[in-house]
Structure 1
């Protein structure tokens, strides 16, 4: 029997559809391998796994659709404002790494993130960012000799090898 008191969590139905989509992709890959003439043929195992995955995901979809959803929405429960903004800041940081380089992008990213999450003054955020960049530079660039991205945007403005 189904427990009528259980509530559907945000994203539960979406997860079932994503599983179904992935299982169809596994089935498509299995069919591309060709050779269904015997039980040990290359395409049989992925195709069988895809079929089992598809049936399971359909069962999940049907089961979760019958359950009453929770009041809180997906964005509120799964991606609150702080998490969503942090993810956007990480994406921006990744986009800035190549043009401005590791040191400037990391300093800006850490300063902004610490300032936002701590909700305090800029002094502490700037200090944390500066110390973090210096420690990472010393450990990875000087100790392990890892080449950190220099950035092409400021390449002509700074002397070559300015960061060792």
Structure 2
């Protein structure tokens, strides 16, 4: 099961990098959690834009991004101040099958694949970063100290 998840995540990241490497953008996978870096960094040198991307894919109805992964993305945006615009992007992909447990058995039910790209902007940098949850309908929530509140994160259009 772990290899399936890892493969699913790699394929999503690889596809994003291919889409971003379109001439104006340059993107690279960085290795993610094992390196203490975000999954992907992309730059548009003509427009002076840097994207620090954390990518998640799942077969469930919700996807979570832990606070340490958001902090890693934030660290990259702080590091490259030469870029006029620096964004943390959370990329969510809900797979075309939904995993369900019925009577102790796991089954997969077909559904439409959905992808969301959300921008995180902080009015002020929090001392403790929240977890972010995205559901299949694209609604996003911040989770901190066992409190969940709905947050409206702006959508980002991947080139």
Give me the TM-score of the superposition, normalised by structure 1: 0.24
Report the TM-score when normalising by structure 2: 0.25
More helix by share: 1
Q: Which is strand-richer, 1 or 2?
A: 2
Answer with 1 or 2: which has the greater Rg.
1
